[in-house]
Amino acid sequence: MKLLFCHDTSKAAQGALDETLKYFSCQRPEIILLTVVEGPLDASMENEGIFDELEKDIRNKHRKIAEGISKAGFDVDAIVATGDSRTMIIEATKNKAPDIIVVGKRGGGRVKEMILGSVSAYVVRHAPCPVLVMPTA
Protein backbone atom coordinates (compact mmCIF):
# COMPACT_ATOMS: atom_id res chain seq x y z
CA MET A 1 0.00 0.00 0.00
CA LYS A 2 1.19 3.52 -0.82
CA LEU A 3 -0.05 6.60 1.01
CA LEU A 4 0.63 10.13 -0.24
CA PHE A 5 0.77 12.54 2.70
CA CYS A 6 0.72 16.27 1.90
CA HIS A 7 2.70 18.17 4.54
CA ASP A 8 3.24 21.95 4.64
CA THR A 9 5.85 21.65 7.46
CA SER A 10 3.49 23.28 10.00
CA LYS A 11 2.81 21.97 13.51
CA ALA A 12 -0.81 21.34 12.52
CA ALA A 13 0.26 19.20 9.56
CA GLN A 14 2.66 17.31 11.82
CA GLY A 15 -0.19 16.51 14.18
CA ALA A 16 -2.23 15.20 11.25
CA LEU A 17 0.77 13.11 10.12
CA ASP A 18 1.20 11.64 13.60
CA GLU A 19 -2.48 10.62 13.65
CA THR A 20 -2.22 9.21 10.13
CA LEU A 21 0.78 7.06 11.07
CA LYS A 22 -1.14 5.73 14.10
CA TYR A 23 -4.22 5.07 11.99
CA PHE A 24 -2.30 3.15 9.32
CA SER A 25 0.29 1.51 11.61
CA CYS A 26 -1.08 -2.01 11.07
CA GLN A 27 -0.76 -1.76 7.28
CA ARG A 28 2.71 -0.14 7.28
CA PRO A 29 2.20 1.60 3.94
CA GLU A 30 4.99 3.25 2.04
CA ILE A 31 4.62 6.94 2.88
CA ILE A 32 5.09 9.34 0.00
CA LEU A 33 5.78 12.60 1.81
CA LEU A 34 5.01 15.60 -0.38
CA THR A 35 5.77 19.19 0.49
CA VAL A 36 5.08 21.92 -2.05
CA VAL A 37 6.95 25.22 -2.09
CA GLU A 38 4.90 27.97 -3.69
CA GLY A 39 7.02 29.89 -6.25
CA PRO A 40 8.14 33.51 -5.79
CA LEU A 41 5.42 36.09 -6.39
CA ASP A 42 7.51 38.15 -8.79
CA ALA A 43 10.90 38.02 -10.43
CA SER A 44 12.67 40.72 -8.41
CA MET A 45 16.09 39.82 -7.07
CA GLU A 46 14.90 40.53 -3.52
CA ASN A 47 12.00 38.08 -3.83
CA GLU A 48 14.25 35.46 -5.42
CA GLY A 49 16.59 35.70 -2.43
CA ILE A 50 13.70 35.41 0.01
CA PHE A 51 12.32 32.47 -1.96
CA ASP A 52 15.71 30.71 -1.96
CA GLU A 53 15.95 31.03 1.84
CA LEU A 54 12.35 29.88 2.29
CA GLU A 55 12.90 26.89 0.01
CA LYS A 56 16.09 25.93 1.87
CA ASP A 57 14.25 26.12 5.21
CA ILE A 58 11.33 24.04 3.92
CA ARG A 59 13.68 21.41 2.46
CA ASN A 60 15.48 21.10 5.81
CA LYS A 61 12.18 20.71 7.69
CA HIS A 62 10.95 18.23 5.09
CA ARG A 63 14.11 16.12 5.48
CA LYS A 64 13.64 16.01 9.27
CA ILE A 65 9.98 15.01 8.88
CA ALA A 66 10.98 12.22 6.49
CA GLU A 67 13.61 11.02 8.98
CA GLY A 68 10.92 10.89 11.67
CA ILE A 69 8.67 8.77 9.47
CA SER A 70 11.54 6.40 8.78
CA LYS A 71 12.40 6.15 12.49
CA ALA A 72 8.74 5.24 13.13
CA GLY A 73 9.29 2.17 10.95
CA PHE A 74 7.75 3.28 7.66
CA ASP A 75 9.38 3.33 4.25
CA VAL A 76 9.34 6.91 3.01
CA ASP A 77 9.68 8.51 -0.41
CA ALA A 78 10.30 12.23 0.27
CA ILE A 79 9.39 14.76 -2.43
CA VAL A 80 9.64 18.55 -2.45
CA ALA A 81 7.89 20.16 -5.43
CA THR A 82 7.71 23.80 -6.50
CA GLY A 83 4.50 25.31 -7.84
CA ASP A 84 0.82 25.49 -7.04
CA SER A 85 0.01 23.06 -4.21
CA ARG A 86 -3.22 21.84 -5.76
CA THR A 87 -1.75 20.92 -9.12
CA MET A 88 1.49 19.54 -7.66
CA ILE A 89 -0.47 17.14 -5.43
CA ILE A 90 -2.49 15.86 -8.37
CA GLU A 91 0.67 15.58 -10.49
CA ALA A 92 2.43 13.61 -7.74
CA THR A 93 -0.62 11.35 -7.53
CA LYS A 94 -0.41 10.62 -11.25
CA ASN A 95 3.34 9.96 -11.06
CA LYS A 96 3.42 7.89 -7.84
CA ALA A 97 0.00 6.15 -8.02
CA PRO A 98 -0.77 6.07 -4.28
CA ASP A 99 -3.66 4.03 -2.97
CA ILE A 100 -4.82 6.96 -0.84
CA ILE A 101 -4.00 10.65 -0.40
CA VAL A 102 -4.05 12.30 3.02
CA VAL A 103 -4.47 16.07 3.19
CA GLY A 104 -5.13 18.37 6.11
CA LYS A 105 -8.36 20.25 6.64
CA ARG A 106 -8.10 23.97 7.17
CA GLY A 107 -8.34 24.85 10.83
CA GLY A 108 -9.81 27.98 12.33
CA GLY A 109 -13.06 29.43 13.56
CA ARG A 110 -16.60 28.16 13.25
CA VAL A 111 -17.09 29.22 9.64
CA LYS A 112 -13.75 27.76 8.59
CA GLU A 113 -14.55 24.51 10.36
CA MET A 114 -17.63 24.08 8.16
CA ILE A 115 -15.65 24.11 4.92
CA LEU A 116 -12.54 22.46 3.59
CA GLY A 117 -9.51 24.52 2.65
CA SER A 118 -9.09 25.31 -1.02
CA VAL A 119 -6.25 22.79 -1.45
CA SER A 120 -8.05 19.91 0.26
CA ALA A 121 -11.31 20.68 -1.57
CA TYR A 122 -9.48 20.74 -4.91
CA VAL A 123 -7.74 17.44 -4.19
CA VAL A 124 -11.03 15.79 -3.17
CA ARG A 125 -12.59 16.89 -6.46
CA HIS A 126 -9.69 15.96 -8.76
CA ALA A 127 -7.88 12.98 -7.22
CA PRO A 128 -8.01 9.67 -9.08
CA CYS A 129 -7.96 7.73 -5.77
CA PRO A 130 -9.56 8.02 -2.31
CA VAL A 131 -8.71 11.08 -0.22
CA LEU A 132 -8.64 11.20 3.56
CA VAL A 133 -9.02 14.71 4.99
CA MET A 134 -7.43 14.81 8.44
CA PRO A 135 -8.17 17.46 11.04
CA THR A 136 -5.14 19.69 11.57
CA ALA A 137 -6.09 21.44 14.80
Q: Give the 3-state secondary structure of the chain.
A: CEEEEECCCCHHHHHHHHHHHHHCCCCCCEEEEEEEECCCCCCCHHHHHHHHHHHHHHHHHHHHHHHHHHHCCCCEEEEEEECCHHHHHHHHHHHHCCCEEEEECCCCCHHHHCCCCHHHHHHHHHCCCCEEEECCC
The pLDDT value recorded for residue 109 is 40
Domain 2-134 indexed as CATH 3.90.190.10: no
The pLDDT value recorded for residue 22 is 96
pTM of the model: 0.87
pLDDT in tens, 14-70: 999 999 999 999 999 999 999 999 876 555 656 777 888 888 999 999 999 999 999
Give the pLDDT mean for 115-129. 85
